[in-house]
Amino acid sequence: MNLILLQNNDFSSATLVTLTGRRLQHVLEVHRAKVGDILRVGQLDGLMGEGRVCTLNTDKLELEVQLDQEPPEPLALTLLLALPRPKMLKRVLQSVTALGVKQIYLINSYRVEKSFWGSPLLQPEKLQEQLLLGLEQACDTILPQVHLRPRFKPFVEDELPQIAAETSAFVAHPVAKNACPLTSSGPSTLAIGPEGGFIPYEIEKLQECGFAPISLGRRILRVETAVPVLLSRFCAL
């Protein structure tokens, strides 16, 4: 927790917040703060700044906050990710949030196990937990939007053309002939398949939508490794 994220209902006045629970515990046990200390804070979907500890005990933390800094620039990249298994999804959501992705589409693919769509992790409040962890890690306040698209064909046919319009669109595909470019200027859309990759039909549908297949070489990477490798290539972080 490199940033303490504040939500609207934490504010008791324009500059005073009261925190309990997980954030209080963290400040007590990890920051080991005391009254008068300055902590880095940010308002969810708002500005960042500093909070001075006014009260700190095992029941509550009161901070007097001053919010005057813009959060870091978002990445100009929309991510389409074939839904990974829940344990990996947690880590990937945290890391792509930390990297600054703001639009995440979790999509279906032939090789996505059907049971993954029933995971409790996909409930909005559970997804948000992972996103908040990513923001707290990276010192950012802008919550990414996660869109669940459990049907591939209607998503690609009806919605994707609009999403990918006026972006450079790529799909990571292990057997693609072209290597991943080292940089891309301007906004991009990146699709990453499941373990085992998209099937040929899916690649074809994405190509119809303007996605160029690119490869990262002979090595087969786990999704959690491939995602930061690819994002690093596409964006000036």
By CB under 8 A, name the binding residues for a copy of itself: 2, 72, 91, 94-95, 98-100, 137-140, 179-180, 182-183, 216-222, 224-225, 228-233, 236-237
- Give min distance, CB of 139 to a copy of itself, in A: 6
Measured from the CB atom, the residue of 34 and 218 that comes closer to a copy of itself is 218
List C-alpha distances in Å: 51 to 33, 48, 60, 155.
Answer: 12, 10, 14, 43
Q: Which amino acid is at 74?
A: P
- Give min distance, CB of 91 to a copy of itself, in A: 8
Q: What angle do CA 103, 107, 111 make, to 5 degrees?
A: 145
Measured from the CB atom, the residue of 33 and 163 that comes closer to a copy of itself is 33
Cβ(174)–Cβ(220) below 8 Å: yes
- Give min distance, CB of 229 to a copy of itself, in A: 4
- Give min distance, CB of 7 to a copy of itself, in A: 21
DSSP string, 120-156: GGGSHHHHHHHHHHHHHHHT---PPEEEEE--HHHII
Structural element, H or E, at residue 8: none
Measured from the CB atom, the residue of 112 and 231 that comes closer to a copy of itself is 231
- Give min distance, CB of 227 to a copy of itself, in A: 8
Q: Show the DSSP H helices in 21-104 as ranges.
A: 21-26, 86-99
Integer Cα distance of 201 and 173 in angstroms: 13
- Give min distance, CB of 179 to a copy of itself, in A: 8
Measured from the CB atom, the residue of 14 and 182 that comes closer to a copy of itself is 182
**In the block, residue with structure tokens 């010192």:** 139
Measured from the CB atom, the residue of 192 and 209 that comes closer to a copy of itself is 192
Q: Which SS3 state, helix, strand or coil, does residue 37 take?
A: coil
